[in-house]
Structure formats: structure tokens, C-alpha cells
Amino acid sequence: MGDIISPIIGKVVGELIALTGLEDTQAINIIIEQKAMKDYNNLIEKLHQDKSNDKELIKILQGNFVDEHLHTEWFRTKIIAIKQHEFTAKHFSTSANIQPESQVKEESLHLISN
């Protein structure tokens, strides 16, 4: 039953998250990745406490932990890029009030003469 319902729920949740906008979607992804990292870390700790000899499982879980960490950093990098693009677009857009060189010279000469 879970094999049928889980993909459907995942798809619906994914589509709802996507409606929040790219930056918020990245932030939500970071939260999900951090939860996964916490869960992997807890499981690794439990296996160590139980003195598990399943070194292959621990190695896989450690690799998954690293993957989640890399995903988190990738999402953070994308958020920074979005913010930087928004800042650049806002402050350096072609629609900004840019004075022609002749107008700047005239205003400078006017200031000097006064």
C-alpha cells in the first residue's frame, strides 16, 4: 500500500512546494536535507552504540549523510545566486535612471561655476 501512496503524496507535496517560488522551495529543500542528515547521523550513532559489525551499512549511511550535506550546500548556493541576481537586477537594471554623459558634464560644470 505504501508503495502506491508514497509516490502520490510525494508528487503532491512536491508540486505544492514548487508553488511557493524558487527561493522558498530551495529553503524548504534545505530543511528536508537537514532532517535527513539528522536521521542518518542518529542511525549511525545507534549502530555504533549497539556495536554493530555491519561496516558496509555504516559506510553507506555515512555516504548518504555526505550527499545530503552536499545537497544542502548546493541549495544554499542557489539561494545566494537568486538574491545576488535580484540585487543586481534591482540596482543595475537598464531601466535605471542613467544620465547621458553630456548631461553629467553639464551638471558638473554648473556645480563648479556656482
Radius of gyration of the chain (CA): 26
Question: What is the sign of the dihedral through the CA atoms of 98, 102, 105 and 107?
Answer: negative
pLDDT top residue among 4 and 43: 43
DSSP 3-state of 89: helix
The structural domains of the chain, with segments of one domain joined by +, span 21-91
pLDDT digits (tens, 9 = 90+) for 30-73: 999 999 999 999 999 999 999 988 999 999 999 999 999 999 99
In terms of Cβ atoms closer than 10 Å to its own Cβ (0-12, 13-18, 19+), residue 41 is: middle
Q: How confident is the model at residue 114 (pLDDT cuts 50, 70, 90)?
A: very low
Predicted TM-score of the model (pTM): 0.65
Cell of 31: 530543511
